[in-house]
Amino acid sequence: MNAGRTKLNQMPEWTALGKHREQLGETHLRELFDADPGRGSGWTLQVGDLYLDYSKHLVTDETLGLLRELATAAGVAELRDAMFRGEKINTTEDRAVLHTALRAPRGAVVEVDGENVVPDVHAVLDKMAAFADRVRSGEWTGHTGKRIKNVVNIGIGGSDLGPAMAYEALRSFADRDLTVRFVSNVDGADLHEAVRDLDAAETLFVIASKTFTTIETITNATSARNWLLTELKADQEAVAKHFVALSTNAEKVSDFGIDTANMFEFWDWVGGRYSFDSAIGLALMIAIGPDRFREMLDGFHLVDEHFRTAPAEENVPLLLGLLGVWYGAFFDAQSHAVLPYSHYLSKFTAYLQQLDMESNGKSVDRDGNPVEWQTGPVVWGTPGTNGQHAYYQLIHQGTKVIPADFIGFARPVADLQPGLVAQHDLLMANFFAQTQALAFGKTPDEVRAEGVAEELVPHKSFKGNHPTTTILAENLTPSVLGQLIALYEHKVFVQGAIWNIDSFDQWGVELGKVLAKKVEPVLTEGKGAEQLDSSTAALVSTYRALRGR
Ligand code: F6P
């Protein structure tokens, strides 16, 4: 796929963008807004429930035209269509990339190797729904006959971040009588804190691992099983009522001792970081119920269809992807901030870090040649108001170009007390004020006009001209969450397609795993230190001494 494509930086469209950037020079957003009074209301797009304002970007009509020409030359639409058709666009792993099939409606046809996968997708969703209903209604009980009140998801990376983020986001839709926790870290403290106040007889462990070989997850799952059996003073047969598995690997699930009847399957064409709307979402489905989960899938699907069919000028993921390429290549932007103004989205950026950085943190192209352009940015951020009192200073007055996404909602999600509902306007006043300040700043003359002493004028002036995207929706519902995530999934896709990298492999995580396996026996048994480099050997020796070994 795309083999032998002209190098990005040798495309005439790329050269044209470089020239255009020079012409744009230091053009300020203030000038762009002055030149076009309709910019604020006109430079917006709508997809589903998401209203997107891209007026505060350092772009003109010409910029956007040139960027779209680049997308055409780079073959973004062709690669997109190949992905939706189920072609094996993940070439280094020889796999199809079909997270879009996970939310295809019943009756749709999506083929992998000549077989329609949609019936299998829905069969698993139905099995998940039946199980979630049994847990939620109390029909599914633990080994001693007690009702399940606690659900602990054990997984890491894509088998943790998605469901953990979505559970947080949709808390107000969740059954508040259920305690739902997520354990990912191989640091024993994580599992300890998650189970220390739980009654094992009321606890269900959901072991989430695509491969079922991930050392952190298998270690935590084994410890959870030991905890359960010790607490219940029971033998292996208790496992069946307290452990279910979400995986592509039935053999390993069975080896672990989980009955494959209690396994919810997915497939190798679902990447880990694209998997939380597969069986990996089971803990979320138990929390919010199958109907809400389906609403979320419909939200994903709505944006999939938009991405697949909307013309380039209206295609929101395409636009967001292109803007990121623009800043990375021509403004030397190294990072991208995602700033949700919603407490419920507190884990959203952490989720996007894996989605974006594991996908596009690559430095060779699809043919294995080193890339000669910037690829994926560092993605970071936390809920906005907290950030305002921490790192926003650097965005406003630092020396770096940091494009930022502001995500906000017109209504507070939860059924809050009236006083707390009123706080929402204050939250959103901050939201709008920040993008305004970032774009337009405050000139030295404006500062002087306030009577500020001359020596303080440089300190109190704001250059502005910091690009932001604003995404607004009425409410953070399951559907809106699905729409938001699909938007970012496809944005990441667009960028990977333009940079000509494989966004769906993650070979970079392997070396550390292999080395950890070699280091562990040195820590525990003290053997083999001579095979380590001198720094690691010295560190290991200090560690062993501190542990009294
Ligand atoms: O090590 C990285 C990774 O493979 C991620 O891509 C994945 O989401 C995570 O580990 C967990 O993998 P698994 O679901 O197979 O346990």
Q: Distance, CA 271 to ligand 1 centroid (Å)?
A: 9
Ligand 1 atom 4 nearest Cα: 272
Name which of 158, 203, 175 is nearest 356 in CA terms: 158
Using DSSP, how many helices (H) and how many strands (E) does the chain show? 24, 13
**Using a 6 Å cutoff on CB, does residue 272 contact ligand 1?**
yes
Question: Tell me, what's the ipTM?
Answer: 0.98
From 90, 211, 276, 351, mutation site for ligand 1 pocket: most ligand atoms within 8 A of C-beta: 211
Give the CA distances from residue 154 to residues 27, 208, 211, 222, 286, in Å, rounded to whole numbers and listed in that order: 50, 6, 13, 10, 15
Give the CA distances from residue 35 to residues 17, 40, 49, 157, 440, in Å, rounded to whole numbers and listed in that order: 22, 12, 30, 46, 14
490 catalytic residue (yes or no): no
Give the Cα separation of 56 and 465 in Å (integer): 8
Full pLDDT tens readout for the chain, 549 residues: 556 789 999 999 999 999 999 999 999 999 999 999 999 999 999 999 999 999 999 999 999 999 999 999 999 999 999 999 999 999 999 999 999 999 999 999 999 999 999 999 999 999 999 999 999 999 999 999 999 999 999 999 999 999 999 999 999 999 999 999 999 999 999 999 999 999 999 999 999 999 999 999 999 999 999 999 999 999 999 999 999 999 999 999 999 999 999 999 999 999 999 999 999 999 999 999 999 999 999 999 999 999 999 999 999 999 999 999 999 999 999 999 999 999 999 999 999 999 999 999 999 999 999 999 999 999 999 998 999 999 999 999 999 999 999 999 999 987 788 889 999 999 999 999 999 999 999 999 999 999 999 999 999 999 999 999 999 999 999 999 999 999 999 999 999 999 999 999 999 999 999 999 999 999 999 999 999 999 999 999 999 999 999
Q: Distance, CA 406 to ligand 1 centroid (Å)?
A: 29
Ligand 1 atom 16 nearest Cα: 209
Cut 0.90: pTM above it: yes
From 153, 253, 509, 514, mutation site for ligand 1 pocket: most ligand atoms within 8 A of C-beta: 509
pLDDT at 88: 97
**Using a 6 Å cutoff on CB, does residue 275 contact ligand 1?**
no
**Using a 6 Å cutoff on CB, does residue 154 contact ligand 1?**
no
**Using a 6 Å cutoff on CB, does residue 219 contact ligand 1?**
no
Choose, from 19, 192, 513, 518, the residue flagged as catalytic: 513
Give the Cα separation of 516 and 525 in Å (integer): 14
Q: Indicate the helix (H) or strand (E) that contains 73.
A: helix 61-74
Choose, from 295, 358, 362, 466, the residue flagged as catalytic: 358
Ligand 1 atom 8 nearest Cα: 158
- Placement of tokens 């083929």 in the chain: 111
pLDDT at 1: 57
Sign of CA dihedral 236, 240, 242, 244: positive
pLDDT at 2: 59
Give the Cα separation of 337 and 342 in Å (integer): 15
Q: Distance, CA 225 to ligand 1 centroid (Å)?
A: 21
pLDDT at 384: 85
400 catalytic residue (yes or no): no
Ligand 1 atom 1 nearest Cα: 509
Asked if residues 520 and 528 have their Cβ atoms less than 8 Å apart, the reply is no
Q: Distance, CA 430 to ligand 1 centroid (Å)?
A: 37
pLDDT at 440: 98
Q: Which atom of ligand 1 is nearest to the CA of 272?
A: 8
pLDDT at 525: 94
| Longest Cα–Cα distance in the chain | 78
Q: Distance, CA 391 to ligand 1 centroid (Å)?
A: 30
513 catalytic residue (yes or no): yes
pLDDT at 418: 86
From 265, 506, 510, mutation site for ligand 1 pocket: most ligand atoms within 8 A of C-beta: 506
As a residue count, the chain comes to 549
From 214, 222, 246, 247, mutation site for ligand 1 pocket: most ligand atoms within 8 A of C-beta: 214
pLDDT at 413: 82
Q: Distance, CA 210 to ligand 1 centroid (Å)?
A: 7
Q: 478 phi and psi, to 5 degrees?
A: -55, -40
**Using a 6 Å cutoff on CB, does residue 156 contact ligand 1?**
yes
Q: 88 phi and psi, to 5 degrees?
A: -85, 75
**Using a 6 Å cutoff on CB, does residue 210 contact ligand 1?**
yes
Q: Which residues is 414 bridged to in the sheet? A: none
Q: Which residues is 409 bridged to in the sheet? A: 473
